[in-house]
Amino acid sequence: MTSTAPAHCPDLGTALAAWFTATARPLPWRSPDRTAWGVLVSEVMSQQTPVARVAPIWLDWMDRWPTPQAFAQAPTAEVLRAWGSLGYPRRALRLQECARVIVDQYGGEVPADEQALLALPGIGTYTAAAVMAFAFGRRSVVVDTNVRRVLARTVGGEALPSPSLTAAEMSRAAALVPADDASAALWAASSMELGAVVCTARAPRCDDCPVTALCAWRAAGYPADPHAARRRSQAWAGTDRQVRGKVMGALRAAHGPVPSAVIDLVWPDATQLSRCIAGLVEDGLIAQTGEAYHLPVEVG
């Protein structure tokens, strides 16, 4: 295989490819009979949600709605219930919009074109690149939180990447992608897998790492995170996100409209609750009929 890797780490890609081929997790969307649509669904579900939580939902989802055509016609309320507690339920709405665009504009086939993918609802830089690599076996620059960390350590010599993705990071990542499609797709999968399984954020398993000999962070003596001072933990308790989640949870659990008097019980701060309800309605995640709220239902 050809490689564009710089001379100072000549076989990072080769070592990771061999390791990945031998040890890759049998994730359901990696099955030989996977479809491009299934890969796309798995990537959207995995945006900020650990794959271990995604897998069972994905299996049920693909059984119910195996194609963009089937999913495009699904009742939105059922889609949101099936999404369950994966989080960020707007992703489910966008995924359905995405399916409808694929049906209407691409004959029901996921486009094998990165720019076309980028234009789809809910598909950003990472997901478009991931679909190109994992669904179509095409060369792309796949940079997720795992790849960022792996490159920050092995190449950059730092404990963790900067808080937000930088242009310099993307350039470095792009320079490391092999030239041919098959090698590039394997590099994407293996560099992500290393970050997910071995080169983890909390307690990296360096003893089990296939590229310790090439790791700049290890060579430097595992220096502490240089960006630690600029990281801030994300608040949760008492936020609108928590309140929105409680409202969504109540409506998912019900199989019909829920009286507003019942919704009022999910959160004690009436001002915050009504702001969150209004936001959910605005986002199309819930709807109001009379004095009750319910998951959205398509109107004729």
Partner DNA sequence: AAATCGGGGTA
Partner DNA sequence: TACCCAGATTT
Positions marked active-site: 43
Q: Could you tell me which stretch among 27-35, 57-65, 67-75, 102-110 binds DNA (CB under 7 A)?
A: 27-35
- Is residue 145 at the binding interface for DNA, with CB under 7 A as the rule? yes
The residues that bridge with 288 in the sheet, in sequence order, are: 293
- Is residue 100 at the binding interface for DNA, with CB under 7 A as the rule? no
For residue 204, the minimal CB distance to DNA (Å) is 10
**Closer residue to DNA, CB minimum distance, 99 or 192:** 192
- Is residue 55 at the binding interface for DNA, with CB under 7 A as the rule? no
Among 19, 58, 71, 126, binds DNA (CB under 7 A): 126
Structural contact between residues 283 and 97, judged by C-beta atoms closer than 8 angstroms? no
- Is residue 115 at the binding interface for DNA, with CB under 7 A as the rule? no
**Closer residue to DNA, CB minimum distance, 240 or 264:** 240
Span 193-252, contacts to DNA by CB under 7 A: 193, 195-196, 200-203, 231, 233-234, 236, 239-242, 244-246, 248-249
Size of the site for DNA (CB under 7 A): 57
- Is residue 191 at the binding interface for DNA, with CB under 7 A as the rule? no
**Who's near 117: CB < 8 A, 6+ residues apart?**
110, 111, 123, 127, 128, 131, 132
For residue 177, what is the DSSP state?
Answer: S
> b vs e for 79-115, b when ≥16 Cβ sit within 10 Å of the residue's Cβ?
bbbbbbebbbbebbbbbbebbbbbbeeeeeebbeebe
- Is residue 87 at the binding interface for DNA, with CB under 7 A as the rule? yes
Could you write out the three-class secondary structure of 88-101? CCHHHHHHHHHHHH
Kindly state the tokens that stand for 59.
């299996």
Q: Could you tell me which stretch among 3-11, 64-72, 87-95, 173-181 binds DNA (CB under 7 A)?
A: 87-95
Structural contact between residues 58 and 41, judged by C-beta atoms closer than 8 angstroms? yes
* Residue 218: burial class (beta carbons within 10 Å; 0-12, 13-18, 19+): middle
- Is residue 122 at the binding interface for DNA, with CB under 7 A as the rule? yes
Can you give the length of the chain in residues?
300
The dihedral built from the CA positions of residue 132, 138, 141 and 146, taken in this order, carries a sign that is: positive
- Is residue 35 at the binding interface for DNA, with CB under 7 A as the rule? no
The dihedral built from the CA positions of residue 168, 173, 174 and 175, taken in this order, carries a sign that is: positive
- Is residue 30 at the binding interface for DNA, with CB under 7 A as the rule? yes
Q: Could you tell me which stretch among 140-148, 150-158, 204-212, 253-261 binds DNA (CB under 7 A)?
A: 140-148
Q: Tokens 């309605």 sit at which residue?
A: 281
Map residues 151-190 to x or -, x wherever contact with DNA holds by CB under 7 A: ---------x---x--------------------------
Binding site for DNA (CB under 7 A): 27, 29-30, 42-43, 46-53, 85-90, 94, 121-128, 130, 144-146, 149, 160, 164, 192-193, 195-196, 200-203, 231, 233-234, 236, 239-242, 244-246, 248-249, 279
